[in-house]
Amino acid sequence: MGDTAELKLPEGQSIQLPVITGTEKERAIDIAKLRTQTGYITIDPGFGNTGSCNSKITFIDGDKGILHYRGIPIETIAEKSNFLETAYLLIYGELPSASELHRFVNDITHHTMLHEEAKRLYDGFPKDAHPMAVLSSVVAALSTFYQDEEGSPEEVFQNNCIRLLAKLPTIAAWAYKKSVGQPFIYPDNNRSYTENFLYMMFSLPAEIYQVDPEMARVLDLLFILHADHEQNCSTSTVRMVRSSGTNIFACIAAGICALWGPLHGGANQAVLEMLELIRQDGGNVQKYIELAKKKDSDFRLMGFGHRVYKNFDPRCKIIKQWCDKVLNKMQVSDPLLDIAKQLEEAALKDAYFVDKKLYPNVDFYSGIIYKAMGIPVEAFTVMFALGRLPGWLAHAKEFSDEEGNKLNRPRQIYTGPVNAPYVPVDKR
């Protein structure tokens, strides 16, 4: 018999609840049978204290600033791996052999083309359509091109994993091309994953475009750092939608929609919008540092602090080095980037932010890098989605592989009127 927790109820009875301990010594009280045995449910707005599942994919210790993918520290993966190898690790649970990785990369490389009929989908969007709307719509529509697939559920999932990893960069690049009125650029199978994406984004048929290897590398690194982050809003959404038994394209489209929100994936866009606000006000960084400290101020310092990390986000330690490297290499003259540097320096020295551990987070640095690379601000969240895709696929697979998984169906506490009368329309 393992550890148990005793819960005493108002009626005087008590119940013993199992305590579950994870491999990293996290502890949870299992309340799965609470309602059956007592009639009670728990309530936890925002699910900040609720574990929705057991998972072997990602471990976070926010107090210590730790992030592991399948048990491997993010620092090690960022230094030694690449995005597609990281994707394999997350989805399948272990690092691939040389032959497995070769086959995985080769399959993805040769599935980057979209069906020609899919190109017509873009004609239905206005030029100024938000790229996240285009991304989610086209991903959902992909399910119509791969209906009634033959093979076991595992084989179908494997094929669709490859398709999504291969085609999402093409979908994203074409959304950008649509917005600027340029012709779509087909993928080039002779290029690496991130190099191919940058090629489809920025090349033109009229001239030769050379992708900077360092820009391809930093983009690969950004994708790695965003690849998974435990049960965040979009990942939880993917798992919940998957619980209904729907296809993986619909699950990923739902994840994209959840990521779109400014409180989640849109945070790096919010950073640039904040910097623009400061620029328009004369670039007075100290004024906004002071505003952020006032309780009665509506101003929020975007890109600082994290809901999970109460220490320095480990991803930031990695990406900050590359941020400085990219800015120095590209020698970008941009007032927003100058303001960002001043803001970072001021906040890191201010006792208020240091005491509250409000360090710059990954959204702060990633937005700056995307801006320097020429990625339009409205496409920042799209970049996040490209990186997060392996994590979504890994969680969808993990949910499907679990024995006894069931349709997600949270409960609620009703607080509305009781026995309200119906009033006829002519008497209202």
| Residues tagged active-site | 306, 363
């970049």: which residue's tokens?
A: 383
CB 318 within 8 A of CB 73: no
At 204 the three-state DSSP class reads strand
Q: How far is CA 130 from CA 98, 137, 270, 274, in A?
A: 39, 11, 15, 19
- The helix or strand, by DSSP H or E, that contains position 338, with its residue range, turns out to be helix 335-349
Instruction: Work out the angle between the directed axes of helices 213-226 and 193-202 (0-180°, nearest 10).
Output: 110
CA distance 298 to 284: 17
Q: How far is CA 155 from CA 116, 151, 158, in A?
A: 25, 6, 5
> How far is Cα of residue 130 from the mean position of the Cα atoms in its chain?
17
Q: How far is CA 56 from CA 70, 94, 398, in A?
A: 6, 11, 8
Q: Name the DSSP letter for residue 304.
A: B
- The helix or strand, by DSSP H or E, that contains position 250, with its residue range, turns out to be helix 248-259
At 326 the three-state DSSP class reads helix
CA distance 354 to 347: 8
CB 249 within 8 A of CB 142: yes
